[in-house]
Amino acid sequence: MTTMATRTSRTVTGARSGRAAGVRPTSSLGTRPLLRWRGVDWWLMAAVAGLLVLGTLLVWSATTTRDDLTGGDPRAYLYKQVTNIVIGLVLMSVVLVADHRWVRVAAPVAYLASVGGLVLVLVAGSTINGSRSWIVVGGMSIQPAELAKLAVVIGMALVLAHRAQGRWRPRVGLVEVVLMLAIAAVPAVLILLQPDLGTMLVLTATVTGVLAVSGAPRRWLALLAGGGVTAALVAVAGGVLKPYQVDRFLAFTNPDLDPRGAGYNVEQARIAVGNGGVWGQGLFDGSQTRSGFVPEQHTDFVFTVAGEELGLVGAGLLIALLGLVVWRALVIATHTDDVFGRVAAAGIACWFGFQGFQNVGMCLGIMPVTGVPLPFVSYGGSSMFAVLLAVGLLQNIHLRASAPRVR
């Protein structure tokens, strides 16, 4: 009895002294939202902010003389893009301050919602630029495929998180790999049926990256690569891809094959980037941009605006900022001991990295033309919401990894 009383007295005394010294027991679960902002990865936030500002200016420049898009209001797309960013930042903030347990609870819901959205697209979606990828609600176009990228990442990460908690075997084996591929396969098939080849390529690269980080045997990565090539050949031979998509690949291999048809986008994009030189022609002063020669310049080909108006310096800055975002995502992945966080952060890094490379590459003619936006830069609500939600998840993982633990 005396020993127990002594221990209790020491415990109470220690707790009181800790409070007196201003030491507050904290954990990653109970930190107040305002205090959580102090521990965010500010390098990541600075890079994202730079891309958002730069992208807004580029979208504005690409549309200011396009009366067919703006209806005569040169600031129409500026207001729309700012609105998209504000909504995206609100979503990011919600995920950032959320308890990590709620994030895991919401993961299956987000995955099922994305699959439901993809099914709805096939049933009642709108066709834009040859692809049925959008749902029009009250004049607003929503592209569920963009949100599916994040849903697949967190779905696959959740599988490995359950494994790490001892529910399944300690190593990544056949069951785990099959489950992760099944999670990715459902949205992939629905996206291929639209057909949205660009998103399919990004999703394939992301899934491959997640499997590599998960510790899956290399033979599975080799099988996945072989299966991807086989699926592409079957899609072409079976007529899944539409003729214009096949023509884009042919134009990529030989831009001079049809310079006024399938090769037109690539040719005009090259001219616009080449016009910029080192320092560019000046914001809002690009000759190709103001003349409207480059199609979809405010969305898929927004990088050409940077190349023409800001030159090699401005385009290089844009790439550097995107590279910084990818680097910070990888740093967050390596610094967390949480399996869910590590796999999710690495998957987001693969997603941002490959999609950025694909977008910039098609503007330079080193990648085939596919309809993928440049993260944080291109105009589009669905894409902006998805990437900012992903940033919120990265910050949530970072805060959980850096928060002191209660012993």
Q: What is the pLDDT of the chain when averaged over all its residues?
A: 83
User: How close are the terminal C-alpha atoms of the chain, in Å?
Assistant: 25
Q: List pLDDT tens digits, range 93-107.
A: 999 998 877 888 888
pLDDT above 60: residue 355: yes
pLDDT bracket for residue 377 (50, 70, 90): very high
pLDDT of residue 317 exceeding 60: yes
Task: Give 128 or 192, the one with higher predicted confidence.
Answer: 192
Instruction: Indicate the range of 99-103, 120-124, 270-274, 300-304 predicted with least confidence.
Output: 99-103
* Residue 27: band (very low, low, confident or very high) from pLDDT cuts 50, 70, 90: very low
Question: Poorest-confidence range of 165-179, 282-296, 368-382?
Answer: 165-179
Confidence of residue 368 (pLDDT cuts 50, 70, 90): confident
For residues 241-256, average pLDDT? 69
How many residues appear in the chain?
407
Q: If you ran DSSP here, which 8-state letter would residue 375 be given?
A: T
pLDDT value at position 218?
79
Name the percent of the chain lying above pLDDT 90.
48
The residue-averaged pLDDT of 299-305 equals 95
Beta carbons within 10 angstroms of residue 65's beta carbon: 14
Could you tell me which residue, 14 or 399, shows the higher pLDDT?
399
In this structure, the number of other CB atoms found within 10 A of the CB of residue 229 comes to: 10
Q: Higher confidence at residue 133 or residue 392? A: 392
- What is the pLDDT confidence band of residue 354, given thresholds at 50, 70 and 90? very high
Residue 181's alpha-carbon distances to 157, 270, 349, in angstroms, are: 12, 37, 19
Q: Is the dihedral of CA 282, 287, 288, 289 positive or negative?
A: positive
Q: What is the pLDDT of residue 242?
A: 67
Indicate if the pLDDT at residue 341 is higher than 70: yes
**Cα–Cα distance for residue pair 331/395, rounded to 1 Å:** 12
**Region 303-331 average pLDDT:** 97
35 pLDDT higher than 60: no
What pLDDT digit, counting tens, does each position of 124-146 carry?
Answer: 877 776 677 888 877 778 899 99
Of 77-86, 178-187, 342-351, 389-398, the one with minimum mean pLDDT is 178-187
Which tokens hold the place of 159?
């599988």
Prediction pTM value: 0.87
From CA 347, how far away is CA 289, in angstroms rounded?
34
* For residues 93-122, average pLDDT: 89
Lowest-confidence segment of 46-50, 259-263, 348-352, 394-398 by average pLDDT: 259-263
pLDDT value of residue 34: 52
Report residue 25's pLDDT band, with 50, 70 and 90 as the boundaries. very low
